[in-house]
Structure formats: C-alpha cells, structure tokens
Structure 1
C-alpha cells in the first residue's frame, strides 16, 4: 500500500470515528466511557495522519 493510499484510509477511518462520536453523544443514555474511547482512537489516528503527512513533506 502506498503512503498516499494509507493516508486516505486513515482519513476515512478518522471521519468514520467522528460520525460515531457525534452519534454516541446524541444517543440517550450514552456510555461516556465508550465515547471517551472513540475520541482516543480518533486522536491516535489524527496523530498518525499528521506524522505521516510530515514525513511525506520531508
């Protein structure tokens, strides 16, 4: 898998997690621990995207 396609896949997963977080926060009786875990996953993806994007620029 090329770096570009890997970045696109990470961005797709990040967007999917964003939607999941929003849906979980709107749901009645949301599980805060589940939302927190989704946010952590989203942050890890964002950090990986940033790291790979910076690597690609250098």
Structure 2
C-alpha cells in the first residue's frame, strides 16, 4: 500500500469516527467513557495523518 493509499484510508476512518462520535453524543445510552474512547481514537488517527503528510 502506498503512502497516498494509506493516508486516504486513515482519512476515511477518521471521517467514520467523526460520524460515530456525533451520533454517540446524541444517544442517551452512550457514556462518557465510550465517547472519550472515540475521541482518543480520532485524535490518534489525526496525528498519524499529520505525520504522514509531513513525511510523505
């Protein structure tokens, strides 16, 4: 997988997590721990995307 393909996949996963996070914020059964986990995953992807853009 090329860096460009990997970057595209990370961006897709980031967007998916953003949608999940927005949905979770409006769902009464989601607790703060689950929401925090989604935020951490999203931030980790964002950091990886930024790293690849600088090095790629």
TM-score (norm 2): 0.96
1:13-38 deviation line (CA, Å, top 9, x unaligned): 00000000000000013211000000
Q: Could you tell me which residue of structure 2 aligns to residue 23 of structure 1?
A: 23
Distance 2:25 2:44 in 1: 20
RMSD: 0.7
* Mean Cα deviation higher: 25-34 or 44-53: 25-34
- Stretches of structure 2 lacking an aligned partner (at least 5 in a row): none
Moved over 3 A (4+): none
Q: Could you tell me which residue of structure 2 aligns to residue 33 of structure 1?
A: 33
Aligned residues: 56
- Stretches of structure 1 lacking an aligned partner (at least 5 in a row): none
Distance 2:24 2:7 in 1: 26
